[in-house]
């Protein structure tokens, strides 16, 4: 299955939904249409049982340059006040609420909201030629799209603060070294390796991964005692899944498991 708006392409193959941000001439900067199209694609991924993993990437040489700055000064545009509320906050919330793993495959520069949308994914990999910029301070804004939440948690307060204030562009290797992303992949093999990783995620026990994702999200605000209770409750749910039974059976029979995502 595939659907393409002019700004976002969605295709579903082998239980992986590939979402491609598609304004390459603008380094996939977000205009209003692209923000809504990404929200719609994420809704489709959430509702479609044929999807067990989501890969988000960019067309052309960039991942996303964040907000299309020509739109913010357009008097016909959405206006500053509404941009976060209508465009980016729903995107981040939908990625975090999606009960399936989301892989951000950062193929090139990721700036502003583009960087932070990538960083809220469950697994973030980047091409060796990719880079990350908290571009906000250069135009008098603050990090948004979850940047003030995810960045300090990923790289620590001090680095997050320096990256946000100085707005330095850092390469993929540096991002990996800081723990901002999971892995750098050589440019030549990037699309194939990112796809392999998405396929792997789609073949894992989906219920368990969804519960893992939710437990990690809850850990950001819960006490240890609450978190232990969450683990107890979620583990009981995971243990009721068909994939738990299959995982144990396959281990005992010394064969690879065939998870169905149920
Ligand atoms: O109300 C609100 O706005 C709140 C929402 C905030 C969310 C945000 O994301 S704020 C941050 C917005 N993004 C930026 O400030 C990034 C601006 N872009 C850059 O700093 C650089 O372009 C990059 C570091 C991303 C990449 O640099 P480079 O040298 O690889 O490419 P370039 O030559 O600068 O850009 C290529 C083209 O894309 C160029 O167009 P041209 O000259 O070839 O016709 C450039 O203008 C265009 N482009 C890049 N970023 C944007 C953009 N056009 C519109 N908006 C952009 N954000």
Could you report the per-residue pLDDT of 234-248, keeping only the tens digit for each?
999 999 999 999 999
Q: Averaged over 105-111, what is the pLDDT? A: 98
pLDDT of residue 78: 60
Domain boundaries, the chain: 2-202, 206-252
- Whole-number Å distance, alpha carbon 135 to ligand 1 midpoint, is 9
Could you report the per-residue pLDDT of 114-170, keeping only the tens digit for each?
999 999 999 999 999 999 999 999 999 999 999 999 999 999 999 999 999 999 999
Residue to substitute in 27, 29, 148 for testing ligand 1 pocket (most ligand atoms within 8 angstroms of CB): 27
- Whole-number Å distance, alpha carbon 221 to ligand 1 midpoint, is 34
Residue to substitute in 33, 65, 106, 140 for testing ligand 1 pocket (most ligand atoms within 8 angstroms of CB): 65
* Closest Cα to atom 45 of ligand 1: 26
Could you report the per-residue pLDDT of 13-34, keeping only the tens digit for each?
999 999 999 999 999 999 999 9
Residue to substitute in 72, 111, 151 for testing ligand 1 pocket (most ligand atoms within 8 angstroms of CB): 111
* CB distance 65 to ligand 1 below 6 Å: yes
Could you report the per-residue pLDDT of 31-76, keeping only the tens digit for each?
999 999 999 999 999 999 999 999 999 999 999 999 999 988 766 6
CB of 63 within 8 A of CB of 21? yes
Q: Are strands 123-127 and 16-21 parallel, antiparallel or unpaired?
A: unpaired
* CB distance 139 to ligand 1 below 6 Å: yes
Cα 1 to Cα 189: distance, rounded to the nearest angstrom: 25
Q: Which CATH code, of 1.10.3470, 1.10.12, 1.10.10, 1.20.144, is assigned to 206-252?
A: 1.10.12
Q: Which CATH code, of 3.40.640.10, 3.90.226.10, 3.40.50.970, 3.90.1560.10, is assigned to 2-202?
A: 3.90.226.10
Cβ within 8 Å of residue 105, ≥6 positions away: 55, 56, 57, 125, 126, 190, 191, 194, 197, 198
Name the E strands within 26-182. 53-58, 62-64, 102-106, 109-111, 123-127, 131-133, 169-171
Q: Averaged over 182-196, what is the pLDDT? A: 98
């Amino acid at each position: 299955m595939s659907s393409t708006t002019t700004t976002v392409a969605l295709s579903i193959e082998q239980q992986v939904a590939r979402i491609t941000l598609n304004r390459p001439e603008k380094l996939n900067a977000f205009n209003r249409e692209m923000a809504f199209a990404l929200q719609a694609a994420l809704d489709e991924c959430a509702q479609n049982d044929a999807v067990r993993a989501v890969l988000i990437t960019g067309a052309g040489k960039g991942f996303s340059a964040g907000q299309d700055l020509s739109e913010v000064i357009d008097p016909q545009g959405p206006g500053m006040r509404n941009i976060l509320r209508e465009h980016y906050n729903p995107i981040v919330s939908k990625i975090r609420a999606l009960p399936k793993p989301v892989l951000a495959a950062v193929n090139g520069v990721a700036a502003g909201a583009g960087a932070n949308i990538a960083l809220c994914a469950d697994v973030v990999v980047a091409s060796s030629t990719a880079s990350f910029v908290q571009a906000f301070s250069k135009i008098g804004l603050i990090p948004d799209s979850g940047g003030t939440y995810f960045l300090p948690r990923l790289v620590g307060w001090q680095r997050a603060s320096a990256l946000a204030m100085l707005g330095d562009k850092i390469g993929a290797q540096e991002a990996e070294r800081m723990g901002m992303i999971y892995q750098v992949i050589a440019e030549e093999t990037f699309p194939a390796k990112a796809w392999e990783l998405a396929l792997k995620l789609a073949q894992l026990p989906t219920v368990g991964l969804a519960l893992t994702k939710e437990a990690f999200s809850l850990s950001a605000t819960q006490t240890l005692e609450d978190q232990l209770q969450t683990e107890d409750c979620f583990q009981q749910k995971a243990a009721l899944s068909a994939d738990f039974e299959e995982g144990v059976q396959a281990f005992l029979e010394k064969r690879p498991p065939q998870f169905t995502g149920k």
